[in-house]
Amino acid sequence: MRILSFLLLICFYLLLSVACNQRVGSGSEEKGNAADASEVASADSVDKQMTALSNGSFTDRKFIRSSELEFKVDNVREATEDIKEIVQKAGGFVIYSKLSSQINQMAETELSRDSSLEFIRYTVQNNMKIRVPTVRFDTVLSSILPLANFIDNQIVQLDDVSFEVLSNHMTIRRAVGGARKNKKESADLSAYQQEEADRAKVDNLSLSDRIRYSDISLVFSQRSLVKQTVIANEEKAMEYQPGFGRKILTAFIKGWQLIEWLFLILIQSWSLILAGLVVWFLYRKFRKGTNSPRYPD
């Protein structure tokens, strides 16, 4: 009886192990089938792109849109703030902005031996680069153009990158196919294919970003302005010596200023002068009284 129970237990373990092996095998087959289906789908996508491009179809083409615009405005600072507001409303952003003044003409005119008039004619301009969603590319350009009172030039460019995207997809597909044959190929070749695939993925991400966001370069300026400033002529001021006539005139002016100063001092000292006159008058009167002759009684 014990022997029969032992045999039945062994048979039960054998049946259980066979069932587990079948499940594992079916699971690996399912994973392999899923991987094969993914590769087939990728291959079908690449094949469809190749067929569309070979037939000259524009349905699935990838374009990068960009524009360059040079124009004149009434006020560069105000136009800069208006453009920033337009870009922000469109969901874009400013990636570069350089506000500068370009000197067109500069001259100095001597006013005297110690001063000169500096004359500067300059132009204020701004160089901006913005990125906006491609779906709002035309809207942003249409909003910026009314700010210009004169357009120097405008360029709108579309770059077809469909073949670059397709080339990157093919590189990725080759790397996936090579990974399945990793046992037959060397490790160096497998690593090289993986590196090429990673580069292709990053390149496609960059192209996708440039497709979704368009670049617009703006260069705008205003009418020339003039600035005049009186500056000191230091070198000639140190060397300057007045002539004899100017020295006489300066001495006469200083002498007259001295007379004015003395006259003002006299006016301010009127009380002392008045007191001195009173004392002098009393002294004269007292002295006359003492010096007058006396007659005997």
DSSP-assigned states of every residue in 41-104: HHHHHHHHHHHHHHTT--TT--EEEEEEEEEE-S-HHHHHHHHHHHHHHTT-EEEEEEEEEEEE
Burial class from Cβ neighbours inside 10 Å (0-12, 13-18, 19+) for residue 128 reads buried
pLDDT for position 248? 82
pLDDT 10s digits, 148-205: 999 999 999 999 888 888 888 888 877 766 655 555 555 555 677 778 878 888 888 9
Q: For residue 86, give both structure tokens.
A: 């337009």
pLDDT for position 71? 96
pLDDT for position 35? 40
Rg (CA), the chain: 50
Higher pLDDT pick, 166 / 236: 166
Least confident of 106-115, 251-260, 285-294: 285-294
Contact 264, 153 (CB under 8 A): no
Reported pTM: 0.58
Polymer length of the chain: 297
pLDDT for position 36? 40
Average pLDDT, the chain: 77
Q: Averaged over 58-83, what is the pLDDT?
A: 90
pLDDT for position 180? 56
Residue 289 DSSP SS3? helix
Residue 270 DSSP SS3? helix
Comparing CA positions, the residue from 231, 248, 228, 227 lying closest to residue 114 is: 231
